[in-house]
């Protein structure tokens, strides 16, 4: 599912380009033929589609899911950070995006036409089976948990003792009698409801008043749930678990100190609890025993169908289903962010990132073709074609992909994290990174190169074997003239995150707080550097350009800024996620990648 956003004119060619920009040509033709169209049109005349250029998701971001509620184990809703609600139905995901600045923490419903979601600043959305509408929840406090005995008897709780009640028509405030944060609410019926919170707080509703109960623990309790009125569990920080029998609470023995976020159970089976770092606990006769699941990802919420299935959601879109004692991964989620992208050919895009991600476009989807190396964060890639390219990453890893062959892998002896790679051809490639590390590939092997700096280098780019720049922290810039690398004093000390060398001799660097440096066309030590206003104070992380002289920089808050003819112009992408890299495609599209594993494409769409 893609989401088109603001349409932006096609990038213009730089001054002196041999051809006029396509959008300008089309506009001129449209004006020229307008009188003819007006004179000759009729109801039967065909109408050509209007071609616009806009941003859309080529790969949607995967935010952390904080809560899940289901109609069935195969039809359920999740509430996520950054204002996202998702629905899984008939094997397909549907996504709704609301206020990016407000995380959503709770979801509950009675059927697929009556669902409520709550979150930060009293945010509340109601689903009627077709669409969502915002509701006033009666408070501006963050709401962290929600539960109801029926559609006209729903409670939500949150920070500073916030408690609100929904009667099927409207929300109203309830005096909880406490100022402590309430994290969760659950009941066995309308006159037997529990809310739990910080400092081991437990409140009980008997149909008339909310009364504190002694929990036996000083730890914050993050979740409450029970098999019924006489068997209730609450879990929380430092592995705290307490059990209630309807009158008193007792502390249970556990073998973990991990923070627990949710507790649930199925009829005839012992209850389970989940938490951070993949903690999964099962209650036994001698206490709760833990194991690690989901590769150690944080686990936040459980839901049961009251029969034979559990749903589990967590970090980066992770969604799992437990049926017949076997976990099925409904959605594996993705690495927290992608760090480089290369639109190698029309229709062929490669992206690399954290947690062993080397993604290759494949029709309407993406394949992870990474080498089998554990725990590598890839930072950059460069190659001559999709059939022959290099990736670099953490702990000095360098790997080469050649179609039809196994990956070739090198490990630098100093194990420095590598941040970028670039070359003139397959026998002259440079990788740079931590502590000023420079390594060169001569077509057969990688060797360490003497570096004029010990400051970490973030990027490398050039025009020829004797015209290469590398930039890094604290304004660090070094230059290779074909003989040796030398330091350049630009006169600026802000961090430089990327560098791009235009074919005509122009060189641009971008970095912290929206800073950009521009050379006058000179090379190396003879170049004069000046600072340019990019129109933003957001840090820029990635920079790239095309053969027409257009340059594109990306950064915080989903920012893309376009450079041409000595001017910078901000573009609206429709996302607020950090963007780390951008690549023009040979067919004129743009691809940018960033936090939460997103890939955005800027291309033509028919209106």
Q: What is the pLDDT of residues 258-299, one digit of tens each?
A: 999 999 999 999 999 999 999 999 999 999 999 999 989 999
- Please give the DSSP secondary-structure letter assigned to residue 585: -
pLDDT digits (tens, 9 = 90+) for 562-573: 999 889 999 999
Q: What is the mean pLDDT of residues 172-189?
A: 97
For the cut 50, the answer to whether the pLDDT of residue 31 exceeds it is no
For the cut 70, the answer to whether the pLDDT of residue 429 exceeds it is yes
Helix (H), strand (E) at residue 23: helix 22-40
Nearest by Cα to 223 from 211, 239, 207, 212: 239
Q: What is the pTM of this model?
A: 0.86
For the cut 60, the answer to whether the pLDDT of residue 435 exceeds it is yes
For the cut 50, the answer to whether the pLDDT of residue 503 exceeds it is yes
Note the pLDDT of residue 5: 43
Asked whether residue 59 is domain-assigned, the answer is no
Asked whether residue 385 is domain-assigned, the answer is yes
Q: What is the mean pLDDT of residues 484-509?
A: 94
- Please give the DSSP secondary-structure letter assigned to residue 269: S
- DSSP-assigned beta bridge partners for residue 155: 147, 165
For the cut 90, the answer to whether the pLDDT of residue 23 exceeds it is no
For the cut 50, the answer to whether the pLDDT of residue 14 exceeds it is no
CB 472 within 8 A of CB 453: yes
CB 448 within 8 A of CB 414: yes
Collapse the DSSP code of 445 into the 3-class scheme (helix H, G, I; strand E, B; otherwise coil) and give the result: coil
Distances from the Cα of 474 to the Cα of 363, 454, 544, angstroms: 42, 11, 21
The domain total for the chain is 1
Query: CA 564, CA 550: separation in Å to the nearest integer?
Result: 5
The DSSP code sequence of 415-433 is: -PPEEEEEEEETTEEEEEE
Give how far the C-alpha of residue 48 lies from the chain's centroid of Cα atoms, to the nearest Å: 37
For the cut 90, the answer to whether the pLDDT of residue 543 exceeds it is yes
Note the pLDDT of residue 523: 82
CATH number, domain with residue 447: 2.120.10.30
Query: CA 455, CA 420: separation in Å to the nearest integer?
Result: 15
Asked whether residue 108 is domain-assigned, the answer is no
Asked whether residue 175 is domain-assigned, the answer is no
CB 246 within 8 A of CB 202: no
CB 166 within 8 A of CB 157: no
Task: Indicate the pLDDT class of residue 18, thresholds 50, 70 and 90.
Answer: very low
For the cut 50, the answer to whether the pLDDT of residue 22 exceeds it is no
Q: What is the mean pLDDT of residues 165-191?
A: 97
Query: CA 120, CA 229: separation in Å to the nearest integer?
Result: 30
pLDDT digits (tens, 9 = 90+) for 327-384: 899 998 876 789 999 999 999 999 999 989 999 999 888 999 999 898 899 999 999 9
Phi-psi region of 386 (alpha: psi -120 to 50; beta: other; left: phi over 0): alpha
Mean pLDDT of the chain: 91
Note the pLDDT of residue 375: 87
For the cut 90, the answer to whether the pLDDT of residue 46 exceeds it is no
The b-or-e profile of 336-370 (16+ CB within 10 A means b, else e) is bbbbbbbbbeeebbbbbbbbbbbbbbeeeebeeeb
Note the pLDDT of residue 8: 42
- HSE-CB at 53 with a 13 A cutoff on CA atoms is 17
Query: CA 312, CA 325: separation in Å to the nearest integer?
Result: 14
Note the pLDDT of residue 334: 76
Task: Indicate the pLDDT class of residue 13, thresholds 50, 70 and 90.
Answer: very low
pLDDT digits (tens, 9 = 90+) for 187-210: 999 999 999 999 999 999 999 999
Q: Which of 36-45, 91-100, 542-551 has the lowest mean pLDDT?
A: 36-45
- Please give the DSSP secondary-structure letter assigned to residue 576: -
Sheet holding 338-345, edge to edge: 338-345, 348-353, 357-362, 365-368
CB 528 within 8 A of CB 573: no
Task: Indicate the pLDDT class of residue 410, thresholds 50, 70 and 90.
Answer: very high
Asked whether residue 531 is domain-assigned, the answer is yes
CB 117 within 8 A of CB 125: yes
Nearest by Cα to 469 from 427, 420, 401, 435: 420
Q: What is the mean pLDDT of residues 569-592?
A: 95
Asked whether residue 532 is domain-assigned, the answer is yes
Task: Indicate the pLDDT class of residue 525, thresholds 50, 70 and 90.
Answer: confident
For the cut 90, the answer to whether the pLDDT of residue 38 exceeds it is no
Note the pLDDT of residue 32: 35
CB 136 within 8 A of CB 123: no
The DSSP code sequence of 480-532 is: E-SS-EEE---S--S-EEEEEE-TTS-EEEEEGGG-EEEE-S--GGG--EEEE
Query: Domain range spanning residue 471?
Result: 381-601
CB 21 within 8 A of CB 53: no
Note the pLDDT of residue 524: 83
In the chain, the percentage of residues whose pLDDT exceeds 90 is 85
Note the pLDDT of residue 51: 64
- HSE-CB at 41 with a 13 A cutoff on CA atoms is 10
For the cut 60, the answer to whether the pLDDT of residue 20 exceeds it is no
Tell me the CA end-to-end span of the chain in Å, nearest whole number: 17
For the cut 90, the answer to whether the pLDDT of residue 417 exceeds it is yes
For the cut 90, the answer to whether the pLDDT of residue 1 exceeds it is no
Asked whether residue 443 is domain-assigned, the answer is yes
Q: What is the mean pLDDT of residues 303-329?
A: 92
- DSSP-assigned beta bridge partners for residue 88: 76, 93
For the cut 90, the answer to whether the pLDDT of residue 215 exceeds it is yes
- For 570, other C-beta atoms within 10 Å of its C-beta total 14
């Amino acid at each position: 599912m893609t989401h088109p956003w603001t349409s932006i004119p096609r990038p213009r060619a730089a001054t002196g380009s041999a051809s006029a920009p396509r959008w300008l040509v089309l506009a001129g033709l449209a004006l020229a033929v307008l009188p003819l169209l007006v004179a000759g049109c009729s109801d039967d005349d065909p109408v050509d589609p209007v071609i616009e250029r806009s941003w859309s998701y080529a790969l949607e971001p995967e935010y952390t899911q904080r809560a899940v509620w289901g109609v069935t184990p195969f039809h359920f809703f999740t509430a996520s950070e950054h204002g996202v609600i998702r629905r899984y139905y008939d094997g397909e995901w549907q996504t709704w995006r609301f206020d990016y600045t407000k995380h959503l923490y709770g979801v509950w419903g009675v059927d697929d036409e009556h669902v409520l979601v709550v979150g930060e600043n009293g945010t509340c959305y109601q689903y009627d089976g077709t669409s969502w509408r915002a509701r006033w929840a009666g408070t501006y406090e963050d709401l962290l948990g929600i539960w109801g005995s029926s559609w006209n008897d729903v409670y939500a709780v949150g920070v500073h003792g916030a408690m609100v009640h929904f009667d099927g028509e409207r929300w109203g405030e309830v005096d909880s009698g406490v100022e402590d944060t309430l994290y969760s609410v659950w009941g066995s019926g309308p006159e037997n409801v529990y809310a739990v919170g910080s400092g081991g707080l437990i409140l009980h509703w008997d149909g008339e008043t909310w009364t504190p109960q002694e929990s036996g623990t000083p730890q914050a309790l993050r979740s409450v749930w029970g098999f019924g009125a006489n068997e209730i569990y609450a879990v929380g920080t430092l592995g705290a678990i307490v059990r209630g029998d309807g009158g008193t609470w007792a502390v249970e023995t556990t073998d973990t100190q991990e923070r627990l976020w949710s507790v649930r159970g199925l009829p005839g089976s012992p209850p389970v609890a989940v938490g951070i770092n993949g903690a999964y606990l099962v209650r036994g006769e001698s206490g709760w025993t833990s194991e690690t699941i989901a590769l150690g990802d944080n686990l936040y919420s459980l839901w049961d169908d009251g029969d034979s299935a559990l749903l589990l959601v967590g970090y980066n879109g992770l969604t799992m289903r437990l049926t017949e004692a076997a976990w099925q991964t409904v959605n594996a989620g993705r690495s927290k962010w992608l760090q480089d992208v290369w639109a190698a050919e029309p229709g062929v895009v490669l992206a690399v990132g954290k947690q062993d991600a080397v993604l290759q476009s494949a029709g309407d989807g993406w394949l992870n073709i990474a080498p089998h190396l554990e725990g590598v964060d890839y930072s950059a890639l460069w190659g001559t074609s999709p059939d022959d390219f290099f990736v670099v990453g953490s702990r000095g890893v360098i790997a080469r992909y050649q179609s039809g062959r196994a990956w070739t892998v090198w490990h630098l002896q100093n194990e420095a994290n590598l941040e970028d790679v670039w070359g003139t051809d397959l026998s002259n490639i440079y990788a740079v990174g931590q502590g000023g590390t420079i390594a060169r590939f001569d077509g057969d092997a990688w060797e360490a190169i003497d570096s004029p700096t010990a400051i970490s280098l973030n990027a490398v780019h050039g025009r020829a074997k004797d015209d290469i720049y590398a930039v890094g922290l604290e304004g660090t810039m070094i230059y290779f003239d074909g003989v040796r690398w030398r330091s350049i004093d630009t006169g600026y000390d802000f961090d430089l995150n990327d560098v791009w060398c235009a074919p005509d001799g122009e060189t641009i660097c971008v970095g912290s707080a929206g800073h950009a440096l521009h050379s006058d066309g000179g090379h190396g030590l003879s170049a004069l550097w000046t600072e340019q206003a990019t129109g933003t104070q957001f840090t820029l992380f990635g920079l790239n350009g095309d053969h027409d002289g257009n340059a594109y920089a990306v950064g915080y808050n989903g920012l893309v800024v376009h450079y041409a003819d000595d001017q910078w112009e901000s573009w609206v992408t429709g996302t607020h996620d950090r963007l780390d890299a951008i690549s023009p495609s040979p067919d004129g599209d743009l691809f940018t990648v960033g936090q939460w594993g997103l890939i955005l494409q800027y291309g033509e769409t028919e209106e």
